[in-house]
A and B are shown apart, each in its own frame.
Chain A
Amino acid sequence: DTGVSQDPRHKITKRGQNVTFRCDPISEHNRLYWYRQTLGQGPEFLTYFQNEAQLEKSRLLSDRFSAERPKGSFSTLEIQRTEQGDSAMYLCASRQSRGKQETQYFGPGTRLLVL
């Protein structure tokens, strides 16, 4: 069990640029979640996948955001035409969906700064 990993850990970009983040979940976990955490706030749910299917998206996820999990393993989160308000920590989590294995394991996050 190597844990959830995220890449990059930090990203600085200029307003209007596109960015893409990657999340590698724990290998046997079929559910994967993305959250966004702004300074001084708790994480807010963005979207989740069961295997390769994206089953729910938050209203926070504007049209500029897209997430994929093409083979049911790693996931990417892309933000197009970034805005300063997108500056936040983006957290990925994974878990199993069998039984009562309800624990979500979080990665270290990708901190995005939009200048």
Chain B
Amino acid sequence: AQSVTQLGSHVSVSEGALVLLRCNYSSSVPPYLFWYVQYPNQGLQLLLKYTSAATLVKGINGFEAEFKKSETSFHLTKPSAHMSDAAEYFCAVSFNAGGTSYGKLTFGQGTILTVHP
């Protein structure tokens, strides 16, 4: 069975500060990993994804994440926070079976990012 744990339901940073959102996963087979962002009353937008290629993944809006198999982690970072980054962020996993994925996503509980001026 696969699962995702996001450490910290709320993270608060100052504008210009480093953003670090933590995600640990559990999967019995090689995973695909994703970070999505959700603005209030909207659907989810993909920030970035890991699909067994490069372990350091760059996404949109200056975000990146590093897949660390030994730590079963896929933390999301951004060097300098902007006010527009305030939103809820979800880490998700699907499993990679034989080079393909069935696609069902298992999500973490989400982390709300607040950015202070």
Query: When the two chains form their complex, are residues B46 and A4 in contact, meaning their CB atoms are under 8 A apart?
Result: no
Query: When the two chains form their complex, are residues B109 and A41 in contact, meaning their CB atoms are under 8 A apart?
Result: yes
User: What is the CA–CA distance of A31 and B94 in the complex, to the nearest angstrom?
Assistant: 15
Residue on B nearest A98 in the bound complex, by CB: B100
A65 adjacent to chain B (CB < 8 Å): no
Given known pairs A109-B42, A109-B43, the reply for A102 and B104 (CB within 8 Å) is no
Interface size class of B (residues with CB under 8 A): 20 to 34
User: How many Å from the CB of A87 to the closest CB on chain B?
Assistant: 15
Query: When the two chains form their complex, are residues A33 and B43 in contact, meaning their CB atoms are under 8 A apart?
Result: no
Query: When the two chains form their complex, are residues A102 and B110 in contact, meaning their CB atoms are under 8 A apart?
Result: no
Residue on B nearest A92 in the bound complex, by CB: B43
Chain A window 93-108, contacts with chain B (Cβ cutoff 8 Å), 1 for yes, 0 for no: 1010100101111111
Query: When the two chains form their complex, are residues A102 and B94 in contact, meaning their CB atoms are under 8 A apart?
Result: yes
How many A residues touch B, CB cutoff 8 Å?
26
Query: When the two chains form their complex, are residues B104 and A45 in contact, meaning their CB atoms are under 8 A apart?
Result: yes
Query: When the two chains form their complex, are residues B109 and A102 in contact, meaning their CB atoms are under 8 A apart?
Result: no
Q: Which A39-92 residues have C-beta < 8 A from chain B?
A: 40-45, 48, 56, 91
Residues of B within 8 A of A4 (CB): 43
User: How many Å from the CB of B32 to the closest CB on chain A?
Assistant: 5
Residues of A within 8 A of B109 (CB): 40-42
- Using a CB–CB cutoff of 8 Å, the interface residues on chain A facing chain B are 4, 31, 33, 35, 40-45, 48, 56, 91, 93, 95, 97, 100, 102-109, 111
18 contacts between A and B (CB under 8 A): A31-B103, A33-B105, A40-B9, A40-B110, A41-B109, A42-B90, A42-B110, A43-B44, A43-B107, A93-B105, A100-B51, A102-B94, A104-B105, A105-B46, A106-B44, A107-B43, A109-B42, A109-B43
Known contacts A108-B41, A111-B41; 12 additional CB pairs below 8 A are A42-B90, A42-B107, A42-B108, A42-B110, A91-B43, A91-B44, A93-B105, A102-B94, A104-B46, A105-B46, A106-B45, A109-B42
Which 8 residue pairs of A and B lie closest in terms of their CB atoms, listed nearest first?
A42-B107, A106-B43, A106-B44, A108-B43, A45-B104, A43-B107, A42-B90, A42-B110
